[in-house]
Structure 1
Amino acid sequence: MNWGHKIIIVFAVFAAGMLTLVTKSMRTKIDMVTQDYYGEELKYQQVIDGKQNAAGLSAPIMVAQPEEGIMITYPRELLGKTINGRLTFYRPSDAGKDIHLSLQPDPSGHQLINRQLFIKGQYRMKVQWTINDQPFYQEQPIHIH
């Protein structure tokens, strides 16, 4: 085999490799963090204010994983107050597996979430609420096992 044939074989292998890479990259699913990223960016000042307000509480919102499910424990300042807010469990690997719930603490400041809603793996818990028109925001990673 002469050197001309070897060059053609190298180019053919290179072209086949490039086509394989392009095909695989076209089939890869990429989820955005949010579909309305521009609108969320405009509201980000509320998140900054919410983080500052949440830092002023006596304790952060705590997450535990007993056998019954996922237990959310709210700070004592929130007990007995009217809370409007939402709890989001963001799944970075698949936006279709995100979980959105409303904040519904019991009188003792706990909220139990059914474990069946979750798939084992990494989530980012985002808690956003208001009390007397004052925004609060907390975010933390959790691993469901």
Structure 2
Amino acid sequence: MNWGHKIIIVFVVFAIGILTLVTKSMRTKTDMVTKDYYAEELKYQQVLDGKRNAGTLSSPVQISQQSEGIAVTFPQELHGTGITGKIKFYRPSDAGMDVEMPLHLSSDGMLVINRQLFHKGNYLVKVQWENGGKPFYQEESFHIN
């Protein structure tokens, strides 16, 4: 085999390699943190204010696993105060596993979420609420067994 054939073989193998990489990259699933990223970025000052306000509470919002589900417990001073807001369990590995719901607390400041809504793994829990016209925000990593 002469050198001309070897050069053609190298170019063909290179082209096949490039086409393989392009095909794989086109099929790779990429989930954005949020679909409307720019609008969320403009609202980030509310998140900063919410974190500051949440830091003034006697204790942070507690998230725990119980046999009946995931329990979210608010500090004592917020019990029965008419909290409005939402909680989001963000799954970084797959946006299809995210769980978001409004806050409907019991009289003792607790919300229990059915365990069947979740898959085992790591979540970033984002709790955003308003009380007395003040925004509050807390986020923490949480592992569901």
Partners of 1:105 and 1:74 in 2: CA distance = 9
Q: Matched residues in 2 for 1:9 and 1:55: separation?
A: 65
Equivalent residue runs for 1:46-57 within 5 Å: 46-57=46-57
* Distance apart, 1:65 and its partner CA: 1.0
Helix, strand or coil at the partner of 1:108 = coil
- Alpha-carbon distance in structure 1 between the residues aligned to 2:49 and 2:131: 13
State the 1:53 CA deviation. Answer: 0.4
User: What 5-or-longer segments of structure 1 have no aligned partner?
Assistant: none
Show the counterpart of 2:22: 22
Paired residues in the alignment total 145
Range with greater deviation from structure 2 (50-59 or 60-69): 60-69
d(CA) in 2 for partners of 1:14 and 1:107? 67
1:61-100 equivalence runs, <5 A = 61-100=61-100
- The correspondence of residues 104-123 of structure 1 with structure 2, limited to 5 A, is 104-123=104-123
Structure 1: how far apart are the matches of 2:17 and 2:39? 40
Q: Distance in 2 between matches of 1:12 and 1:114?
A: 56
Structure 2 length-normalised TM: 0.93
User: What fraction of aligned residue pairs are identical, expressed as a percent?
Assistant: 63
**Structure 2 gap segments, 5+ residues each:** none
**Matches of 1:92 and 1:117 in 2, distance apart?**
16
Rounded to whole Å, the distance in 2 between the matches of 1:9 and 1:60 is: 64
Deviation at 1:113, TM superposition (A): 0.6
Comparing 117-126 with 1-10, greater Cα deviation is found at 1-10
Q: TM-score, normalised by structure 1?
A: 0.93
Matched residue, 1:12? 12
Q: How does 1:34-49 map to 2 (within 5 A)?
A: 34-49=34-49
What's the counterpart of residue 59 of structure 1? Answer: 59
Instruction: Report how far residue 51 of structure 1 moved.
Output: 0.4
Q: Which residue of 2 aligns with 1:130?
A: 130
Cα distance in 1 between the residues matched to 2:87 and 2:40: 16
